[in-house]
Structure 1
Amino acid sequence: MRRRSPPPPPQARFLQIVANTPRLLRLVWDATPGVLVMTLTVTVAIALIPATLLYVNKLIVDHIITDIATPGVDWTPLLWLVGAGLSLMLAQSGLQQASSYLSQVLSDRFTLHANRVLLQQAIRLDLAHYELPAFYDTLSRAQQSGSSYPVRILDTLINLARQTITFAGLLGLLLSFHPLIVLLLVGASLPALWVGLRFSGVRFRLMRRQTQSGRLAEYLQKVLTTQEFVKEVRLYNLGDYLLGQWQEIRDRFNRELAEMASKQAWLRFGVGLMSTLGFYGAYAWVIVATLQQRVTIGDLTMYTSAFQQSQMLIQNILFSVALVYEYNLFVTQYFEFLNLEPEVVTPSHPVAFPTPMGEGLVLQNVGFTYPGASEPTLRDLNLSVKPGESIALVGMNGAGKTTLLKLLTRFYDISQGSITIDGVPLHAFDLTDLRRNVGVVFQDFSRYNLSVQDNIGFGDLAHHQDFDRIDKAAKDAGASGLIAKLDYGYQTILGKTFEESAELSGGQWQKVGLARAFMTPAQILILDEPTAALDAIAEFDLFQRFQELTRGKMTFLVSHRFSTVRMADRIIVLEHGTIREMGSHNDLMEKGGMYAEMFQLQASSYRDRV
């Protein structure tokens, strides 16, 4: 058994985590470089004011005490000093308002950019990622972390820079009194850093452990609040039960967070006492020095304010460091998602897809095993399909029909063998070019809650504003009649998500989905259960035009209705991932094998009903 390597020491873990900060800053720079530069400039200006203001106030106090001790008052220097103090205060107020504005703009632009980067990553990942539960944990963490924690780090880093510069200005005043005063104030505040770092890790591990339960709670909330589930929730009286499940998860989360917050509060109280004792030690020191006339009254006021501000700044700096560490823990989850790489990619030197196809499609000894599966879904498939030929795929559920179609669209790469078009392997084509030439209507086709025009036009995005092509595709799919009855025709929003929208029946949605497939200029057309939700009349109408609609296209048809299947040029019978039979409808019926048995079984069910 391999021994697990020991965890890195705390210092190494800290450096590993904060190492994400440069990458995050590059993201900020990419989002809005100009605003970032202005923000840093204003931050530096604000940070330099407090120490300068303390020194001006010290000069004012000393001047007043000198004037009290001597006859006559020289107002001119005092007025200049008061004016300087007023100017610094006004500048500080104005710069703080500018900082607040710039911070909001920077936050908004960066949040938009970070979410855009996340969505771009989601688009480029393989279909295989979306079929693994662990991926959704990673995606959920990235969405939660990427939406807020990068901005929190950014704000914290800006505050940390301002606090550090301000403390650097006060450091000269502290050192002018005595170098040991710095050690006293810093030493009294260091335990706060330990508490912050310790509970940062505890909070992160707690939130990460809650990911799956949190996704379950979100799913239960979706079940209770969306139209997709509302009928069954009411019919089976599931509302109170599912609400109880949701409440139990959320209550457990709250208890765990409250327990952690309680422990943290007690430790913070303890380190707060140490910090207070450190300040009063420094305060007593300067009082004694004043009574011994080693410093002036003005120095007393300046040093007292400097000690107080420095103590607060040291605590804030250390707290900000702990926050940067904590937020970076969460941002690692955002970068964990960005670090995922697709396996199905376009080659560096792609081959143009043949237009038109000459030889057609060839599968040689094709095998495929899903990631994480122990058994292959497809085994040793050999098949040649000519351009313009229509192929029907039949077989029991799980035989591999839809999997084969996913391989043709290169949602997955095959595990063995080869798939070629005109002698060129699929993986040699540009992915966009390949998928532009493969039009698909899957059984679980997408129903976009957008306009009818979008729902159909998405079949060929380059022409999704071409009304004539969209209208023709709708007519070909038998959808033009239902569209004409909608209030806004092709501009009607479908679904129930938005106002003034129209919901369609399952069969009507399927017609729209078919229209999207007929919109495509693809040379290969894949129809996965294209008539599953159509009534008998609509199905018959579609069959009457099927040959015309698919003329010149290589067509793959998956259907459990043998009235549909028999229209294909050849029928492929799949069983346990292998080709069991192949031939025309008449050939397979004469053979009396598996296809004939399934056909007669389905036909007998219709006869029995009659």
Structure 2
Amino acid sequence: MNKEKKRRERRDIGAALRRWGKILENNIYSFRYMWHGSKGYFFASVANAVINGLIAPLVLLLNRRLYNMLGSDRPMFLNALYIIAGIAAVTVVSWLWNLLSSTYIMPKLTEQLHMHVQTDLFEKARMIELEMYDDTEFYNDFILAMQYADAYATGTVNNFTNLMSNLIGFSGIVALLAYIDSGTMLVMVASAVISMLIGTKKQKINLQMNEKHAPIMRRGSYVNRLFMLPDYAKELRLTDISECIFRDYEKTISEHIGVTRRYKTKDALLGALSTLNSIGVYIAVVIMTLYKFAVLGTVSIGDFSVIVNANISVGSRLGSLVGSFSNLPAQSDQIDRVRALMDYKPSYRGGTLPAPHLESLELKNVSFSYFEGGEVLHDVSMKISRGEKIAVVGYNGAGKSTLIKLIMRLYDPKSGCILLNGVDAREYETESYRGRIGAVFQDYRIFAATVAENVLGDRYDDSKEGTVLEALHRATFDDKLAELEGGINTMLTREFDEKGTNLSGGEEQKIAIARVFAGDYDLIIMDEPSAALDPMAEYALNKQIAAFAEDKTVIFISHRLSTTRHADRIYMFDSGRVVECGSHDELMRQNGRYAEMFTAQAENYIRGKC
């Protein structure tokens, strides 16, 4: 039994050492990052810590001398004034520095540091493979990392400097108390140990509560978005789905309350224990000091004032010191999550070769499945040559949009490969490869930016006005553009500008299509490019696309099979497989799935159902 107990103790000690080793490693990592991001923030924080840490023991020391002088038989008035002036000077200097620091220095440096961290995190977020968003555990960690970003930016330095400030103040006061009365000091140190243990336990409980809250808060945020975004406004008003959403939201709130109550009850009990500890040490110190002053006469009036005031100050310092120290494990866990995102390496392989102009694009036995899901594409093979116009058709869920994402390397195949000019696409530098492709997605997005910025993005400046206007003309956006008071400088959406313009679905789709017209791409991908357009607008747009893409390779997905008649080759997908391939006439002669779909749609058009 004794041997087993010793083994457990050794394991516990080893685990604790590894834990604190990890805490030290994470904080060093964070310090290096912060040092690189803003040296000024570090120096200003240290200056705050030193100045604020020295104030309390210095004022107590001056007060002790003042009270001892006033308690003597013949107090020296002039010397007392000097001490009072010294106390006033220390207080004023401290106040001026804190005012300057909090009003001018720290806000500017803090914003710089936050910007540095957020920019790095946004860059990392752009690198995450889309399939990782389907991994619930990863996505929860990702959300937590983004939430912890601001705390990560300043939290490590702030916690360290708070620890430094309180340690300086606490050490100065304890040194003064040890000089005056070592017994009082020992009582306060014992209280400090108890407070530290309680604080560490409270931090652990709060961290566990935050982890339990993360998936619950994500569900709550989803409901908030449903009722905030205009995308869902019509459905919420015209269907009864809101009742179902309300029930789910009530369940979410109930779960949140349950988790909070469970952990906050433990936190409250520990808080009560901490308060009893603080009250107990205060009463004990006052009684001890009063006895030594009034009965034994071993402490002076100045010593008595220092001990009583220090008791209050030490309680505050102890709380802050213990809080800063107890924050280290929680801070380390936060750093760990942000660090995991900062150090994240995409699993897809990007090469170093610059992507050449497209001569051929080939898929060889490509299969793909989403995270923890069944196969979406199975053994797909197809070859596309430069200048060909390819149509991809099939029923919903056949894998068409997934195919496009694989071609663009938003995902990588689980098996098989994609070849550009006979070379595995993974050998090419990712941004260079994607730069050869222009795409309009079915779920395109319009940003809260100007028309020009939505078309060209960060590449836009006044010299490119002609490019934007030409792209909008090709996208048949001329009539709407003429109505916009600010022209291509009109702000889209009213997210940040109440004078912004909200476009119709068809108009937004034309903006998305103009993005492709504005670029110099070898391969153009159109995923339902005319879904939001009426037949006449679709006809005009198809003519523009045909003229623009005459010498380019085009892949388009469309449920309106009228657009497939002029394709060089049509791939019919069903359940993730290519079941038919050929030109429109060839597939109609085969009288297979494509012919069945085309005929049914043509009949619906004739009957006025489409």
SS at match of 1:466: helix
| TM-score (normalised: structure 2) | 0.88
Find the counterpart in structure 1 of residue 319 from structure 2: 315
Q: Which amino acid aligns with 2:41?
A: V
Distance (Å, rounded) in 2 between the aligned partners of 1:543 and 1:78 = 93
Find the counterpart in structure 1 of residue 377 from structure 2: 377
Written as runs of structure 1 = structure 2, the 5 A alignment for 1:557-576 is 557-576=556-575
Counterpart of 1:206 (choices 178, 194, 209) is: 209
Q: Give the deviation of 1:238 after TM superposition.
A: 5.8
Q: Which moved more, 1:532-541 or 1:271-280?
A: 271-280
Written as runs of structure 1 = structure 2, the 5 A alignment for 1:288-303 is 288-290=291-293, 291-303=295-307
Gaps in structure 1 of 5+ consecutive residues: 1-5
Q: Which amino acid aligns with 1:20?
A: N
SS at match of 1:160: helix
Residues 513 and 95 (structure 1), Cα distance of their counterparts in 2 relative to 1, 3 Å cut:
closer
Q: Give the deviation of 1:249 after TM superposition.
A: 3.2
Q: Give the deviation of 1:19 after TM superposition.
A: 4.5
SS at match of 1:365: strand
Q: Give the deviation of 1:516 after TM superposition.
A: 1.2
SS at match of 1:509: helix
Contact conserved, 2:474 with 2:514, CA < 8 A, in 1? yes
Contact conserved, 2:361 with 2:421, CA < 8 A, in 1? yes
| TM-score (normalised: structure 1) | 0.88
Find the counterpart in structure 2 of residue 41 from structure 1: 47
Q: Give the deviation of 1:590 after TM superposition.
A: 2.7
Contact conserved, 1:189 with 1:271, CA < 8 A, in 2? no
Distance (Å, rounded) in 2 between the aligned partners of 1:244 and 1:386 = 53
SS at match of 1:128: helix
Find the counterpart in structure 2 of residue 228 from structure 1: 231
CA RMSD of aligned residues (A): 2.9
Q: Which moved more, 1:572-581 or 1:244-253?
A: 244-253
Find the counterpart in structure 2 of residue 363 from structure 1: 363
Q: Which moved more, 1:307-316 or 1:533-542?
A: 307-316
Find the counterpart in structure 1 of residue 87 from structure 2: 85
Find the counterpart in structure 2 of residue 140 from structure 1: 143
Contact conserved, 2:220 with 2:252, CA < 8 A, in 1? yes
Q: Which amino acid aligns with 2:221?
A: E
Does residue 30 of the first structure (1) align with residue 28 of the second (2)?
Answer: no
Counterpart of 1:97 (choices 73, 96, 99) is: 99
Counterpart of 2:466 (choices 465, 468, 482) is: 468
Contact conserved, 1:189 with 1:275, CA < 8 A, in 2? no
Residue by residue over 1:532-573, the C-alpha shift from the partner in whole angstroms, topping out at 9 and shown as x without a partner, is 222111122233344321111111111122210111112222
Residue by residue over 1:399-432, the C-alpha shift from the partner in whole angstroms, topping out at 9 and shown as x without a partner, is 3222222122111122333322222221121222
Counterpart of 1:215 (choices 197, 215, 218) is: 218
SS at match of 2:60: helix
Find the counterpart in structure 2 of residue 494 from structure 1: 492
Residues 127 and 294 (structure 1), Cα distance of their counterparts in 2 relative to 1, 3 Å cut:
same
Q: Give the deviation of 1:106 after TM superposition.
A: 4.2
Q: Give the deviation of 1:439 after TM superposition.
A: 0.6
Residue by residue over 1:372-413, the C-alpha shift from the partner in whole angstroms, topping out at 9 and shown as x without a partner, is 33435131x333322111111122323322222212211112
Q: Which amino acid aligns with 1:298?
A: G
Written as runs of structure 1 = structure 2, the 5 A alignment for 1:246-265 is 246-247=249-250, 249-250=252-253, 252-254=255-257, 256-258=259-261, 260-265=263-268
Q: Which amino acid aligns with 1:431?
A: T
Residues 361 and 57 (structure 1), Cα distance of their counterparts in 2 relative to 1, 3 Å cut:
same
Distance (Å, rounded) in 1 between the aligned partners of 2:543 and 2:312 = 88
Q: Give the deviation of 1:86 after TM superposition.
A: 2.6
Q: Give the deviation of 1:609 after TM superposition.
A: 4.2
Does residue 53 of the first structure (1) align with residue 59 of the second (2)?
Answer: yes
SS at match of 1:596: helix
Find the counterpart in structure 1 of residue 120 from structure 2: 117
Q: Give the deviation of 1:255 after TM superposition.
A: 5.4
Distance (Å, rounded) in 2 between the aligned partners of 1:365 and 1:342 = 23
Residues 422 and 185 (structure 1), Cα distance of their counterparts in 2 relative to 1, 3 Å cut:
same
Percent of matched pairs sharing the same residue: 25
Gaps in structure 2 of 5+ consecutive residues: 1-10
Distance (Å, rounded) in 2 between the aligned partners of 1:259 and 1:295 = 49
Contact conserved, 1:129 with 1:135, CA < 8 A, in 2? yes
Contact conserved, 2:525 with 2:555, CA < 8 A, in 1? yes
Residue by residue over 1:97-148, the C-alpha shift from the partner in whole angstroms, topping out at 9 and shown as x without a partner, is 2443444444433333333332222112122223444444233322332244
Residues 521 and 300 (structure 1), Cα distance of their counterparts in 2 relative to 1, 3 Å cut:
same
Q: Which amino acid aligns with 1:475?
A: H
Distance (Å, rounded) in 1 between the aligned partners of 2:365 and 2:183 = 80
Counterpart of 1:480 (choices 478, 483, 499) is: 478
Distance (Å, rounded) in 1 between the aligned partners of 2:136 and 2:298 = 71
Does residue 351 of the first structure (1) align with residue 349 of the second (2)?
Answer: no
Distance (Å, rounded) in 2 between the aligned partners of 1:294 and 1:155 = 41
Residues 61 and 606 (structure 1), Cα distance of their counterparts in 2 relative to 1, 3 Å cut:
closer
Q: Which amino acid aligns with 1:32?
A: S
SS at match of 1:581: strand
Residue by residue over 1:331-388, the C-alpha shift from the partner in whole angstroms, topping out at 9 and shown as x without a partner, is 44433443433223532xx222224x4x422333333333333435131x33332211
